[in-house]
Structure 1
Amino acid sequence: MLGFGLAIEPQLWTLIFTMVRVGAAFIAAPVFGAVAVPVQVRILLSAAIGILAMNVAPITPPAEIFALTTFLSIAAEALVGLSLGFILQIAFAAPFVASEVIGSSMGIGFAAMVDPQNGTATPALGTFLSVLMILLFLSVDGHLVLVELVVDSYTLLPPGQAWLGAEKLRDIAFFGGYAFMAGLLLALPVGFLLLCLNLVVGMLSRSTPSLNLFAVGLPASLLVGVVSLFVAMPAMGDYMLVIVAEALSALRSLVLG
């Protein structure tokens, strides 16, 4: 009997309690939290990984369902799961920061399309870089590493002792600055060439005031931007792998310790 005369199988109640942390991590994490992933698939994945976690670490759910301690335990489990997914989501914001820097300099900041990850209208260049980063994330088995870290979290942060301290929450908040730094570094090769082009166009406008900047500057910035993106794409792809590696290492260091 688990409160108010309700009865539930102990193993089923343990599985439901375990799925809270796993489901919260999948909601906040990229790839798993995409709007294109059906809710039924997320529930089945959460149940499958919950069964795996139950076999890896001993999980003891609260004795009663409708109790204050139960709600606090569920909130603690959701907080840990959301923290695990949120750190990855911060790292995946870097391509959008880079696309804003590059797109505004190239003059294609107005071009937007639907992002398959979030289902909202985002810059077209940002969507392209985001899809590329997702493919790189899957190519290095980042989704499997995320599942492994979620399962390991039951050993390092067992239920009942899962409240994150103020220092960990502060470190997670400070990690948000990494998205801006990584985005600027990702846009650095293309952004530097476009900056040099703008300086040249500015000097031409001062030397020949009669020159139509819109007729010369916009096509030149678009051409230089496309060529520089083509040339710098291998280096940008390598740095995206660095961002993925930093995000996965931050999961263990910031949340799990």
Structure 2
Amino acid sequence: MEPVFGQLLATLLAMWWPFVRLLAMLSFMPVVGENMVPITVRVLLALALAVVLLPVAQPPVPITPFSLLGIVTTIEQVVIGLIIGLCFQLIMAVFTLLGFMASSQMGLSMAVMNDPMSGVSSDVVSTLLYVMSILVFFAVEGHLVFNGVMGSSFKSWPVGGGIPQVALEMLPLQVAWVFSAALLLALPVIFSALVVQIGFGLLNRIAPAFNLFSLGFSLIIVFGLFMLSGLVRYIPEQYVRLTSRVLGMLEQMMVAR
């Protein structure tokens, strides 16, 4: 009985390292890391994936989780999971920022509702684009891509190998890329709203008695909705393209390590 108990204890201790990294990644990645997913579900998912990744997640040298080295290694796994989760979160940040830019130009930024996915208030356009991004995430089998990235991370960044310095340097630099990608996607809506506002400004100077500014607000919303309907058709294609960019960035991080 004692050998069986010792073997079971050794297996549980070995599962600790992939479990910590997976739980940290699931807590920070989109969709699964949102408030709409209970913590117990994330814990069970991390536990199930830890069992699957157990053969490739073992440290080269056995580490006791209750030692000082084990505490440092646990923090290391949390940071690595946070880095990978934030890399996937960059894609969702692009479309959330895109929705905010579009709604502010259309005059819909005042239409704010409580977002059940993030637990904060956001405008309706950002929430719509976020829901569409979630659907595209599962349509392109993003959850399977996530599993593949997680398995590759244990090979490139083994347990006890330290925090990858290249990842700590490269990830903050991607914030500028998020802003530029969102701005490029929002340019059609921004430009069209600007043209309509300039047109109504000129008409108001020509015929000030008509008070066209009161009518222009409604027309800008209608025109912005038409532009948004045309933009929504390209969301899946852009999502796949941004995902490929993030995967290329992760591959570059792992190869550099």
**In the alignment, what sits opposite 1:184?**
183
In the alignment, structure 2 segments of 5+ residues that lack a partner are 1-7
Structure 1 Cα separation of the partners of residues 36 and 160 of structure 2: 33
TM-score between both structures, scaled by the size of structure 2: 0.90
Asked if 1:128 corresponds to 2:128, the answer is yes
- CA drift at 1:244: 2.5
* Aligned residue identity for 2:10: P
Asked if 1:47 corresponds to 2:56, the answer is no
Structure 1 Cα separation of the partners of residues 57 and 75 of structure 2: 20
User: Is the CA contact (8 Å cut-off) linking 1:98 and 1:186 kept in structure 2?
Assistant: yes
- CA drift at 1:116: 3.3
Q: Deviations over 1:199-255 (max 9, x none)?
A: 212222332333424322101101101111222321233223222322233233235
Number of residues paired by the alignment?
Answer: 250
Q: How big is the alpha-carbon RMSD for the aligned residues of Structure 1 and Structure 2? A: 2.0
User: Is the CA contact (8 Å cut-off) linking 1:49 and 1:151 kept in structure 2?
Assistant: no
* Aligned residue identity for 1:70: G
**In the alignment, what sits opposite 2:160?**
160
Structure 2 Cα separation of the partners of residues 18 and 196 of structure 1: 54
Structure 1 Cα separation of the partners of residues 180 and 127 of structure 2: 19
Q: Secondary structure at the match of 1:66?
A: coil
User: Is the CA contact (8 Å cut-off) linking 1:29 and 1:86 kept in structure 2?
Assistant: yes
Q: Secondary structure at the match of 2:90?
A: helix
User: Is the CA contact (8 Å cut-off) linking 2:29 and 2:85 kept in structure 1?
Assistant: yes
**In the alignment, what sits opposite 1:226?**
225
In the alignment, structure 1 segments of 5+ residues that lack a partner are 1-7
Q: Secondary structure at the match of 1:20?
A: helix
Structure 1 Cα separation of the partners of residues 201 and 109 of structure 2: 20
**In the alignment, what sits opposite 1:241?**
240
* Aligned residue identity for 1:205: N
- CA drift at 1:115: 2.3
Q: Percent identity?
A: 28
**In the alignment, what sits opposite 1:89?**
89
**In the alignment, what sits opposite 1:206?**
205
- CA drift at 1:43: 1.1
Q: Deviations over 1:144-196 (max 9, x none)?
A: 1111111111111111113121x321210001112111111221222221121
Deviates more, 1:227-236 or 1:134-143: 227-236
Cα distance 1:176–1:219, how it changes in 2: closer, same or farther (>3 A)?
Answer: same
Cα distance 1:187–1:220, how it changes in 2: closer, same or farther (>3 A)?
Answer: same
Asked if 1:252 corresponds to 2:242, the answer is no
Q: Deviations over 1:7-34 (max 9, x none)?
A: x811101112220101111001001101
Deviates more, 1:243-252 or 1:39-48: 243-252
Structure 2 Cα separation of the partners of residues 34 and 18 of structure 1: 21
Deviates more, 1:59-68 or 1:113-122: 59-68
Cα distance 1:112–1:149, how it changes in 2: closer, same or farther (>3 A)?
Answer: same
Q: Secondary structure at the match of 1:206?
A: helix
